[in-house]
């Protein structure tokens, strides 16, 4: 069921708590955010899903990633509804549940390209921030701790070497039934890294106050244990 009321959790100064998880593609942000959300009873904010919905919306309006600038009327016509859950998030575009559709590799590639455009990122900024006025959040993405929630109580920045990230993404796609090659996945991740790190608006950088975690040799449970320990220290739960 969607979350309709604020979750019960210790809150400082009547403000909802936000924990951010940033990092490049393939480091395990989505899995880590889901597990941490479930462990704390926080809602999950998957910013990648929001950008994928926007990409799908723009594609359905006949736009390509190299269409610059994206017309403001089309950006404003985005009919997006989000169902926040503990450990998951559902997204609807114009009344259609597109939670599964946006996970296709082609959508992810186009979303990465569209998200480099200033007007696209700015159009989705307030939407993401608004969730923190209603619920405790675990927010994952690439600029959660630097731009969207710079005052987050706890920030994490996950990393892993390129070979391991490529292997993880390749296995994820194969398990979904998509046909691809490891070399192609590695090339796409490398290209995405370059776009994320060099874009003018909200580039991928590690927040100064973020806790770094190298997940290369860690399984999801080990990453969760590490994050939970840091959250406990920060908040004295």
In a domain, 228, yes or no: no
In a domain, 27, yes or no: yes
Better pLDDT: 237 or 161: 161
Please tell me the distance from the alpha carbon of residue 17 to that of residue 11, in angstroms, as a whole number. 7
First to last CA, the chain: 27
In a domain, 124, yes or no: yes
In a domain, 118, yes or no: yes
Among the listed residues 207, 76, 211, 204, the one whose alpha carbon sits nearest the alpha carbon of residue 142: 204
pLDDT of residue 13: 36
Percentage with pLDDT > 90 across the chain? 78
pLDDT of residue 16: 87
Q: How many domains does the chain have?
A: 1
Contact 218, 159 (CB under 8 A): no
Average pLDDT over residues 120-146: 95
Average pLDDT over residues 171-192: 91
Q: What is the CATH number of the domain that holds 70?
A: 3.40.50.300
User: Would you place residue 81 in the very low, low, confident or very high pLDDT band (cuts 50, 70, 90)?
Assistant: very high
pLDDT of residue 199: 86
Contact 42, 138 (CB under 8 A): yes
pLDDT of residue 15: 65
Rounded to two decimals, the pTM is 0.89
User: Would you place residue 173 in the very low, low, confident or very high pLDDT band (cuts 50, 70, 90)?
Assistant: confident
In a domain, 146, yes or no: yes
Please tell me the distance from the alpha carbon of residue 138 to that of residue 21, in angstroms, as a whole number. 7
In a domain, 79, yes or no: yes
In a domain, 45, yes or no: yes
pLDDT of 132 > 70? The answer is: yes
Average pLDDT over residues 64-80: 90
Identify the bridge partners of residue 139 per DSSP, sorted by sequence position.
20, 45
pLDDT of 188 > 70? The answer is: yes
Q: What is the tens place of the pLDDT at every residue in 5-49? A: 333 333 333 368 999 999 999 999 999 999 999 999 999 999 999
Query: What's the longest Cα–Cα distance across the chain?
Result: 51
Percentage with pLDDT > 70 across the chain? 92
Domain span holding position 131: 23-216
Candidate from 67-71, 95-99, 145-149, 215-219 with smallest mean pLDDT: 67-71
User: Would you place residue 236 in the very low, low, confident or very high pLDDT band (cuts 50, 70, 90)?
Assistant: low
Mean pLDDT of the chain: 90
Better pLDDT: 172 or 159: 159
Better pLDDT: 102 or 177: 102
Contact 63, 52 (CB under 8 A): no
- Token pair, residue 219, equals 């399984």
Strands 211-214 and 80-84: unpaired
pLDDT of residue 2: 38
In a domain, 155, yes or no: yes
């Amino acid at each position: 069921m969607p979350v309709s009321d604020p979750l019960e959790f210790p809150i400082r100064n009547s403000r909802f708590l936000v924990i951010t998880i940033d990092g490049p593609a393939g480091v395990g942000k989505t899995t880590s955010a889901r597990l941490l959300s479930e462990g704390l009873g926080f809602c999950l904010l998957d910013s990648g899903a929001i950008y994928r919905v926007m990409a799908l919306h723009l594609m359905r309006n006949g736009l390509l990633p190299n269409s610059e600038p994206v017309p403001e009327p089309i950006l404003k016509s985005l009919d997006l509804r989000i169902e926040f859950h503990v450990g998951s998030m559902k997204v609807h575009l114009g009344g259609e549940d597109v939670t599964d559709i946006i996970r296709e590799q082609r959508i992810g590639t186009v979303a990465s390209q569209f998200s480099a455009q200033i007007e696209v990122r700015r159009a989705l900024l307030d939407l993401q921030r608004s969730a923190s006025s209603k619920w405790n959040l675990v927010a994952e993405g690439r600029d959660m701790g630097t731009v969207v929630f710079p005052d987050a109580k706890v920030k994490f920045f996950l990393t892993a070497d390129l070979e391991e990230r490529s292997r993880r993404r390749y296995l994820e796609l194969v398990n979904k039934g998509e046909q691809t090659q490891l070399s192609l996945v590695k090339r796409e991740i490398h290209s995405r890294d370059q776009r994320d790190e060099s874009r003018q608006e909200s580039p991928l950088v590690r927040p100064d106050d973020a806790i770094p975690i190298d997940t290369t040799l860690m399984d999801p449970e080990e990453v969760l244990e590490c994050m939970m320990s840091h959250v406990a220290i920060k908040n004295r739960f």
